[in-house]
Amino acid sequence: MSWGFMLLQNGRAPRPVTNVRDDTILKSSFWKASFEERRCLAPASSFCEPNGDVKPATWHWFSITGDDARPLFAFPGIWRRYKGPVKKDGPNVDIETYAFLTTTPNPLVATINHERMPVLLTREEEFETWLRAPAEEAMALAREYPSQQMRIVQEGLEKEDLLAAA
């Protein structure tokens, strides 16, 4: 799958929209049908956020705490098929795209990004609820992950995850 729902723009290339806000997922026709019909999980061991308006950006990689250096978790997501160009005047493609669910940031993430953070799921029952439960139950998972159960594992000017490159 490709990360980002393609948002069509007149006279310009489609723009991939990678995150869906918890406060708009049920209100916007851009997201709603996918939430009701096509939920997915994206496994991860960390995520990064830039430090905001400062140039050049300093990237901060967040992980949950646990027995491993970077325990696995999942981003709750939605997906759909996209048929059309990905570049202005480019050829049409037929791909599946996905987007993550975001919510208000916890105190740790808010030190870097005061607007949003991804929703993080860590337990099997949360995975099952996201994938199979009615909309109201699934949306109950859209909450901040506890900051005391997270940490910053890397920061710097390079956006690349150094652990992944090792």
Closest listed residue to residue 70, CA positions, set 160, 153, 165, 162 = 153
Please list the pLDDT of the chain residue by residue as tens digits (166 residues).
999 999 998 888 999 999 999 999 999 999 999 999 999 999 999 999 998 777 888 899 999 999 998 999 999 999 999 999 999 888 999 999 999 999 999 999 999 988 999 999 999 999 999 999 999 999 999 999 999 999 999 998 887 777 765 5
Q: Which residues of 4-32 are buried (b: 16+ CB within 10 A; e: fewer)?
A: bbbeeeeeeebeeebbbbbeebeeeeebe
* DSSP-derived 3-state class of residue 62: strand
**Domains along the sequence of the chain with CATH:** 2-156 (3.90.1680.10)
In this prediction the pTM is 0.91
